[in-house]
Amino acid sequence: MNRPLPTILPEDTAPAAGQSCRQCELSDHGTRVVWGEGNPGAPLFIVLDNPGARENKSGTPFLCSTRETMQKAAYEAGIEPGSFYVSYLLKCRPRRAYDKKTARATCIGYLWKQLKAANPLLVMCLGDVVCQSFFENPEAKVKQLRGKIHAVKEYHVITSYHPLAVRRRPVLYKYFLEDWRLVARQFM
């Protein structure tokens, strides 16, 4: 099988309440709401901290290194792009300093509603920020959580490093890939 190139996944449209949210200062950062991308009915629900850069200055969509690294590991673990959905703790890309605690506390409510509607078999939390919010523990660290399946509320959860951290510190890639293989084993 030829390896598919990492690809820009189709974006999911935010519900009206999400599109017009003004509950935190991120709504003033001038970035659009990105609800999620990929297959909304997929068994794997991946959570990243925020949507990151999605278009260049001229507005042309591109695949950022976070999503490229994530898709590379998923493919190497045997997970096809159509079998996952990616969403975000923060639904807008931060462009400057903001009240992180308030924004995360506000946005996690949208994430819980998304999860309830999607009802995935497995949730994968990527990065310390997501783990701290999802596990409702400000001391949560991927380094201590990764490598096993956790139960959070009614969800089975696997954690791993943020793809950007893996990109910056290539020594983490082997652990990142191990975590993706743990995800893959849950579907085989």
The answer to whether residue 58 is domain-embedded is yes
What is the number of structural domains in the chain? Answer: 1
The answer to whether residue 65 is domain-embedded is yes
The answer to whether residue 181 is domain-embedded is yes
The answer to whether residue 141 is domain-embedded is yes
User: What's the predicted TM-score (pTM) here?
Assistant: 0.92
The answer to whether residue 23 is domain-embedded is no
Q: Return the closest-CA partner of residue 33 out of 97, 149, 114.
A: 114
The answer to whether residue 10 is domain-embedded is no
Q: Which pLDDT does position 95 carry in this prediction?
A: 74
The answer to whether residue 2 is domain-embedded is no
Residue-wise pLDDT tens for the chain (188 aa)? Answer: 455 668 889 888 887 776 766 667 656 645 677 889 999 999 999 999 999 888 888 888 888 999 999 999 999 999 988 999 999 999 887 777 888 898 899 889 999 999 999 999 999 999 999 999 999 999 999 999 999 999 999 999 999 999 999 999 999 999 999 999 999 999 86
Q: Which pLDDT does position 170 carry in this prediction?
A: 97
Identify the domain containing residue 79 by its residue range: 29-187
Tokens 């890639």 identify what position? 173
> CA triplet 112, 147, 183: central angle to 5 degrees?
60
Give dist(CA 187, CA 156) in Å, integer: 12
CATH number reported for the structural domain that contains residue 112 in this entry = 3.40.470.10
The answer to whether residue 18 is domain-embedded is no
